[in-house]
Structure 1
Amino acid sequence: MADSHDIVTAELAEFLGAATPEAWVDAAADPAALPLMLIDHANCEKKAASTALAMLFRYEEHEQLTERLSRLAREELRHFEQVRRHMRLRGIEWQRVPASRYAAGLAEIVRRNEPGRLVDRLIVGAFIEARSCERFALLTPRLDDELGRFYGGLLASEARHFQHYLELARGFAGDELEARIDAIRTVENRLATEPDTELRFHSGPPA
């Protein structure tokens, strides 16, 4: 019988549709890339918290939504703190790292009028969390024991975030949910799998 980890991983793979290319895994797992990847990972956690808080303020009339977003923001900030701790332990100094095209590319497909905008932002959130989980799982066996355990632990909590975003989207989307997932998946898959000029946590493989 498959354990819960296998079930979650299979659910994520089905939702994502396209797998991360092996070339990205090889590049991201290279020890020389570790400082860059940890800095970008910290940025991703910080941005995830910021996005959840922005939505909390924008849609404060929806009680269940704001409660979920509040918990998400707290967990993302905790993850940010944990990544920074691993950076300190490795003597990695903070530096500004420009974001990849991934988040901006997904933002382009988000509709501008409500409630479509809310639905799309929640689906985009689900894709970002799902892709993060997939990459945590891919990197875990390629990293040192301490960082591997950390990424393995993140997989479970980020999988919950994926499920929360998708559940919330389902509550607002109605019959259009699958169509919007399909439309956003097409864009997400291109951004995550096509060659990229910059290596980042959510980038495509190096060109």
Structure 2
Amino acid sequence: MRIKELLTPINTFLHCATPQSWIDEAIKPENIATLLVDHANCELKAAQTAMFLLRRYAVDKDSAEALLLWLKPFEDFVYRKEGEGDFSSHSNLSKKLMSKSNFKHGDELISKMVLLIKEELHHFQQVLAIMQSRNIPYDNITASRYAKEMMRHVRTHEPAKLSDTLICGAYIEARSCERFAKLAPYLDEELKGFYISLLRSEARHFMDYLSLAQTISANDIVSRVTFFGEKEAALISTEDQQFRFHSGAVATMGSESA
């Protein structure tokens, strides 16, 4: 599939394009390190979010423990600075996940989210390898307000809570895909090729989240999709004080990492 065809549903879904001011900031040489570190953080966070959904809604106790063990080396490396960043022995889940008997969508959620976790962890390792090849340290940096503000609007009762959370996931994945495509032409050949290589999986993640949201919802989700689309566009269009992968428009931003 051509990139234009791949991006058409993404661009239709999103309510606004990434502002040029953000792109101009992102491609500054002094901001590439922050871009990569925050990109790595986003990949890990995406895996953690999918794991949380599985543990909360879809799998039994033993399977939940297996998921925690799967992510532990990655979390130890990022948050506790343990290990050398070699995850070759932790690339795959150690056991087959068992669905809860009282959640009828468990098998579908497991199928889609396990694949997503595998791909996000693989992307995390790819970003880390690029950082290491460029001697970019994995510094601790604060997250942008983007995901937290999106999740603030999630309803608190089920199944609306799960459906809203999945819609938020669809927007986060769609925005990531759009930004990879926007950035690629401005980057060096290694980063350009890498970001283009991510487009197909990110586009599929967006569709998986969206289809799961509709499957699980008791009602049509069009109004909720529109609601979150407006919230997401506002976050992307308004100014942020720090540059991050999902930060908003730029007036005058520094590249500070804390």
| Same structural fold, with TM-score higher than 0.5 when normalized by the shorter chain | yes
User: 1:102 maps to which residue?
Assistant: 146
User: 1:17 maps to which residue?
Assistant: 15
8 Å contact kept, 1:199–1:205:
no
User: 1:189 maps to which residue?
Assistant: 233
Count the aligned residue pairs.
205
Further displaced range: 3-12 or 103-112: 3-12
Tell me how far 1:174 sits from its aligned partner: 4.9
Tell me how far 1:176 sits from its aligned partner: 3.0
Tell me how far 1:121 sits from its aligned partner: 0.7
User: 1:49 maps to which residue?
Assistant: 47
- Secondary structure of residue in 2 paired with 1:202: coil
**Ranges in structure 1 where 5+ consecutive residues have no aligned partner:** none
Further displaced range: 57-66 or 103-112: 57-66
Letter in 2 for 1:152: I
User: 1:168 maps to which residue?
Assistant: 212
Within 2, Cα distance between the matches of 1:198 and 1:94? 18
1:126-169 CA deviation, whole Å, 9 max, x = no partner?
A: 00000000000000010000110000001111111111111111
Letter in 2 for 1:51: T
Matched, 1:112 2:156: yes
Letter in 2 for 1:44: C
Further displaced range: 112-121 or 165-174: 165-174
Tell me how far 1:175 sits from its aligned partner: 3.7
Which ranges of 4 or more aligned residues in structure 1 deviate by more than 6 Å? none
User: 1:34 maps to which residue?
Assistant: 32
The alignment's TM-score, normalised by the length of structure 2, stands at: 0.77
**Ranges in structure 2 where 5+ consecutive residues have no aligned partner:** 59-102, 252-258
Q: Which has the higher helix share?
A: 1
The share of aligned pairs that are identical, in percent, is 44
1:32-87 CA deviation, whole Å, 9 max, x = no partner?
A: 10000000000000000000000011111311111211111111111101000000
Letter in 1 for 2:110: T
